[in-house]
Structure 1
């Protein structure tokens, strides 16, 4: 290397006339490989005293470049790594690549964040009940809501047997022929057995068919221009009706009829009539365990199921005015009659009561809950309702266990895990009721009990990690924890339930092997993966018992009831915050131990009898056993037996106890279909074998099931070949007490607030990448 005079320059000495150089090397210096070729890894700055007054710019072959001469007399010399043209191009490509990745990340997150913030508005177009129309001949066109003029619910209740009729009136105000569909809820134990469609003055009666056959018949009638209707079951408590070829200006009347039962708990009776289906959370698809040929089929199945659960929502709750007409024959004098959900008007006509709403019609935004209490000891403890069809006797038996004060309660400690839902659908009244109920249960823990609390939304956390002794300090900590819970996020039930069921198998530090293992599950049940949860409960239950506490104005009653049934427990319905604490206190006390277990029913040896479910549930407190039975060659005697703490239970019934009633056969058929579906889910029978078994029951009993549908076709051809629909949107109601904003985001999961936080983090990371790429010294350019 050369100095400004063109002479040799070494690191330790100056040139012939220069003073010794002062070298400030705060970075790695010049290195040489064995080849002797200079290799420079980082930039190094030398400060040299100025020797000549004029500026000098010298281009060095390898690495030395003099940039400038400052007024201070110091000449700055920079050393740069020697790079070939290929390495320079590679470095430049690396820099561009990092910049592109950062830019794409920034734009992606920015767009996702904007979409997340607007999801509260778009979520209003996701799901709800009501009639929806689209133009005939335009299968890709979206369905638009049709105006609903009125809805009427008529109930005829005799003791514990309920016959329901739902009449909904719709009108097509457009000038086009349209196709419509609507989704509606019914009681989870309802047996739907009739469908009637009236278009203007034309009446079309529905016929029961296998589901695929009904769909083909409906599609053929729709293509031919005939008015047709198709009724499908989405869930046991949710149905879908499709209507084809509705003419301009026509009035549509849809009448549905069903058979159901009333719940009894001592002298208290309750019937719940759902009017609106709340949005359902559907977890992400779990496809990793599937073989490749199965993936597409599973995706198609889950997407179709999600589509069946989706419709627009009226956040203002001003849609679908509903009237109520109830005729109640309680079979005994009433002590009270009330509704925690609606204001009632009650009149008495002889032995019957006529019940209606105080307002002539109210928006359909919550379940109608009716409760009545009979005078003490006026209602018999055992009742037997009867219907004979052909050679078969169908019975509906109601067995009341001994009163709790007459049954000896076992003194056993409890190992209890409380699981509380804090997902977005719980925000509002449901969350307040859940917190109040759980705090009441925590206060009732005994000194020998063990407990833990699990809260969940999109993820879950355990308060203690496992059940711990119920010391006063731990109880107070748990109460404070519950009081501070907020509702947000998705409804990922599987992980917390699995953790709760598994935790009791081996509790560290527990020496009491006789403790009762209980899981108390507080939720609204608003999920769409019910079958997967049922499978997990049965597979992991062990010696535990699962009790469900149903919350909110429109909970998923089928999921709550079925989970408790499979978990060998029972369910409690809490309609509002005011009744949460007292009802939970009573419930928690009575589930301390069953009043009667190992229940069984027997008849004469010559009798062929079918009872479902196969294992009768245990009885808690004063909750009555209600079970339908089918018998051939019945001799007239029926005996229920069970084990109790003090004495065995035995209830004998004969033909003298029979009360004639209609629809009992359909109730029995409904329970048998449910039992077959349970066997399919467990793998006890194959899907095709189960489908055929359901058809053998549902077709002769005219029941809508997962494998059978009602189809009605008006034979005259009425529609011109092509007509269009001028679409209008009229959404339906968000359930009372639910907060729409909490349902925003993918399936109500992270929520837009969480999406924004994630987005901010990713944007910050993108900016850091950009800064790093700009500071790196790629190429010979500064």
Structure 2
């Protein structure tokens, strides 16, 4: 069901010719977000950013607007403010539960307020309340971001869309944590906060996007600037997006220059402490490498459809081809099930020419299908590598679009100790935060591939990463600089083409040197001594704090619940937003007696490169249902094994005004991430009855589309067949539905297939059955 958030009469709306079914325009508009402006200043290997979001209330009652959006996963959010009616209200960073209480109280009292919260390292939510009719409000976020550097180039990446994520698990009872289209589950207790509604493809561009990046090499020799995915204009040292670009893919700049070994120290303004950042640029890799055990895990789920699956197959095949006869390997491809190449056995096999050929042959046949059940293959991979005495490597190739990141990290974190985990993210709106966290736990690297054009270049990097590191067993030794040991980041290993970067805190004088010691590939001692240089760059402290908070939060997610107080204290002390805190800006002026009369969650763009849905019938615009009356859709966006008729894209925002007191990310009202009881699973081998409401909606679509031309009806039937096939997998089997799905996907006489589908669905809708799982 498509629902509108606007209180408009039918004569106020008119379809746009050839713009796609369900696309609407109105004179007033109905989406609160008008503009997004990003201004970045790159200096060397760091960037300072300001993000400005403009909201407008087109309605005749006060509005609360919610926007779920991405930010760079390593960026530190250090300031927040709201501007409205000539007033500027600075945000204050508080413990998350307290910030929410302050926001809710202000909204109830009719005052303007805004709150910014982190739900994932790269997914954030802003709520702006009591925007009065016709008013425009802007919110400003200030960020500091490090730029990853390797093989002579730094990358500035700014994500612009939260892509739909696969949500596993059993729905939870009680109030939902957010207003998204997916219910919270035991595996993803904040699923409703990270699944905003998605615009139908063809919807007129609802948001004005402006993005400008000024580049200062900061003494480094800048050889080249390259842009990926977006059309840009260059004016001197500033690169701007061309007008008309949409928020549907990451913005990426690659800056080619030579980095250098350095130790920068940044004293605080007070307290006699400071922050350091150590960079060690490695030499070229020597010939030869040690034998290793490699497990390749490839995502072939529905979200990988199209160019991503092609790129993933090529990437996986290249990884297999890099192996030598001394190595052992295994290949696991997964969706809702895990598969291995025939003839390679259940364990690790020798990387002989014959076995590598079988693996590549298996990879070439893979097509996207099913759901993103990532936990099981990662656990199998950890088990395969558990007892190996060789270099152990796990390579994950995926778009990372899952919601149960914390569950995966908790279940696999300790088992991947000593395993170098490399993640290859393939998407134009990749889940970089999760892939970076997973690679970080395993001491590996994260490579992001946003287009087929970038694949060959990226695979060269991946090849080097899979090879043995140049230097291992690294340790940091201080000479005159008094390090605060517990604040120093993980030292890791040194790889060819990838500089080693370590951040930490020190006390006392900002003078001295650091020496990095380890062993090279031949087992001989290796060391580098780097003298300090004092610099004036406050961003270094914020970037260190962001990394420190991520480390603590990952340890918390794995199970160390004693870290809550330290996480909150670190966030508040250094003024950097995290999942346990929130920025809140509250006006003193009362503007809307009684609070907002309307609530809207801003829909997001479908990510560029994702398959467009085939509409089964013209979408209908209906009035807003009460939150309690809205159907709870199945857990998974299109192509992710969502078991049934969840609309693939929303023509407009799914509003609602659901209570915001519910916890986010497994947090209670004081922002504590609480363990959730896991309901007992359904007994294996006992298929469930298909949900009548879901099948009735499919039948309704068929009847509405009966007058379409034969070619369009055939597309409708094929689309229905794919959904029914996914439903059969979810139900644990259903002979009649499975047979119908196979017939529809195979094609044939349109009229006969149409009649067959109607008859089967009519019979099943009339037989009763259990309620859908999300309504039990």
TM-score, normalised by the number of residues in structure 1: 0.72
Residue segments in structure 1 that go unaligned for 5+ positions in a row: 1-120, 126-131, 136-143, 288-297, 507-512, 771-782
Q: How many residue pairs were aligned?
A: 602
* Cα separation, partners in 2 of 1:355 and 1:394, compared to 1, 3 Å: farther
* Cα separation, partners in 2 of 1:400 and 1:607, compared to 1, 3 Å: closer
* Cα separation, partners in 2 of 1:387 and 1:754, compared to 1, 3 Å: farther
Match of 1:587 among 459, 462, 478: 462
Taking the aligned partners of 1:188 and 1:723, their CA distance within structure 2 comes to: 32
Match of 2:376 among 495, 500, 504: 495
Match of 1:735 among 604, 607, 625: 607
2:31 and 2:206 in contact (8 A); partners too: no
How far did residue 586 of structure 1 move?
3.6
Q: Are 1:326 and 2:219 matched, yes or no? A: no
1:166 and 1:256 in contact (8 A); partners too: yes
How far did residue 705 of structure 1 move?
1.4
Equivalent residue, structure 1, for 2:230: 342
1:281 and 1:527 in contact (8 A); partners too: yes
2:208 and 2:244 in contact (8 A); partners too: yes
* Cα separation, partners in 2 of 1:133 and 1:413, compared to 1, 3 Å: farther
Taking the aligned partners of 1:708 and 1:543, their CA distance within structure 2 comes to: 32
Q: Which moved more, 1:313-322 or 1:215-224?
A: 313-322
Match of 1:213 among 92, 98, 102: 98
How far did residue 554 of structure 1 move?
0.9
2:32 and 2:65 in contact (8 A); partners too: no
Taking the aligned partners of 1:306 and 1:134, their CA distance within structure 2 comes to: 28
For residues 300-315 of structure 1, what are the structure 2 equivalents within 5 Å? 305-315=190-200
How far did residue 158 of structure 1 move?
0.9
2:65 and 2:600 in contact (8 A); partners too: no
2:480 and 2:511 in contact (8 A); partners too: no
How far did residue 742 of structure 1 move?
11
Match of 1:176 among 48, 61, 65: 61
How far did residue 225 of structure 1 move?
0.7
Taking the aligned partners of 1:607 and 1:400, their CA distance within structure 2 comes to: 20
2:84 and 2:138 in contact (8 A); partners too: yes
* Cα separation, partners in 2 of 1:320 and 1:386, compared to 1, 3 Å: same
How far did residue 543 of structure 1 move?
4.3
For residues 641-656 of structure 1, what are the structure 2 equivalents within 5 Å? 641-643=516-518, 644-645=520-521, 648-655=525-532
Taking the aligned partners of 1:730 and 1:669, their CA distance within structure 2 comes to: 30
Taking the aligned partners of 1:366 and 1:606, their CA distance within structure 2 comes to: 43
Q: Which moved more, 1:422-431 or 1:620-629?
A: 620-629
For residues 234-245 of structure 1, what are the structure 2 equivalents within 5 Å? 234-245=119-130
2:76 and 2:546 in contact (8 A); partners too: yes
How far did residue 394 of structure 1 move?
2.8
Taking the aligned partners of 1:490 and 1:307, their CA distance within structure 2 comes to: 18
How far did residue 247 of structure 1 move?
0.4
Taking the aligned partners of 1:133 and 1:211, their CA distance within structure 2 comes to: 31
Q: Deviations over 1:670-727 (max 9, x none)?
A: 222223223323444xx3x4221122211132222111111111101111337744x8
Taking the aligned partners of 2:600 and 2:589, their CA distance within structure 1 comes to: 28
Equivalent residue, structure 1, for 2:513: 638
1:169 and 1:254 in contact (8 A); partners too: yes
Q: Are 1:401 and 2:249 matched, yes or no? A: no
* Cα separation, partners in 2 of 1:218 and 1:304, compared to 1, 3 Å: farther
Q: Secondary structure at the match of 1:733?
A: coil
* Cα separation, partners in 2 of 1:724 and 1:482, compared to 1, 3 Å: same
Q: Deviations over 1:64-117 (max 9, x none)?
A: xxxxxxxxxxxxxxxxxxxxxxxxxxxxxxxxxxxxxxxxxxxxxxxxxxxxxx
Q: Are 1:525 and 2:525 matched, yes or no? A: no
Equivalent residue, structure 2, for 1:673: 549
For residues 176-575 of structure 1, what are the structure 2 equivalents within 5 Å? 176-285=61-170, 305-316=190-201, 318-331=205-218, 332-348=220-236, 353-357=237-241, 359-374=242-257, 379-384=259-264, 386-405=266-285, 408-463=286-341, 464=344, 465-505=346-386, 515-541=390-416, 543-575=418-450
How far did residue 226 of structure 1 move?
0.5
Q: Deviations over 1:284-307 (max 9, x none)?
A: 1499xxxxxxxxxx9787675011
Q: Are 1:746 and 2:635 matched, yes or no? A: yes
Taking the aligned partners of 2:277 and 2:601, their CA distance within structure 1 comes to: 47
How far did residue 664 of structure 1 move?
2.0
Q: Secondary structure at the match of 2:98?
A: helix
* Cα separation, partners in 2 of 1:134 and 1:606, compared to 1, 3 Å: farther
Taking the aligned partners of 2:99 and 2:480, their CA distance within structure 1 comes to: 42
Taking the aligned partners of 1:759 and 1:194, their CA distance within structure 2 comes to: 54
For residues 87-106 of structure 1, what are the structure 2 equivalents within 5 Å? none
RMSD of aligned residue pairs (Cα, Å): 3.1
Taking the aligned partners of 1:380 and 1:678, their CA distance within structure 2 comes to: 31
Equivalent residue, structure 2, for 1:57: none
How far did residue 423 of structure 1 move?
0.9
Taking the aligned partners of 1:259 and 1:235, their CA distance within structure 2 comes to: 17
Taking the aligned partners of 1:597 and 1:451, their CA distance within structure 2 comes to: 22
Q: Secondary structure at the match of 1:746?
A: coil
How far did residue 608 of structure 1 move?
4.6
How far did residue 613 of structure 1 move?
5.7
How far did residue 458 of structure 1 move?
1.0
Q: Deviations over 1:712-751 (max 9, x none)?
A: 11101111337744x8897321111122559996323265
TM-score, normalised by the number of residues in structure 2: 0.72
2:184 and 2:192 in contact (8 A); partners too: no
Taking the aligned partners of 2:296 and 2:61, their CA distance within structure 1 comes to: 55
2:169 and 2:187 in contact (8 A); partners too: no
Q: Deviations over 1:223-269 (max 9, x none)?
A: 11111111111112111111111100001212111111011114211
Q: Deviations over 1:423-447 (max 9, x none)?
A: 1111122212111111222222222
1:339 and 1:369 in contact (8 A); partners too: yes
Equivalent residue, structure 2, for 1:64: none
Q: Which moved more, 1:335-344 or 1:538-547?
A: 538-547
Equivalent residue, structure 1, for 2:715: none
Taking the aligned partners of 1:219 and 1:584, their CA distance within structure 2 comes to: 49
Taking the aligned partners of 1:393 and 1:328, their CA distance within structure 2 comes to: 30
1:134 and 1:178 in contact (8 A); partners too: no
* Cα separation, partners in 2 of 1:723 and 1:570, compared to 1, 3 Å: closer
How far did residue 448 of structure 1 move?
2.4
Taking the aligned partners of 2:30 and 2:121, their CA distance within structure 1 comes to: 24
How far did residue 611 of structure 1 move?
5.5
Equivalent residue, structure 2, for 1:93: none
Equivalent residue, structure 2, for 1:291: none
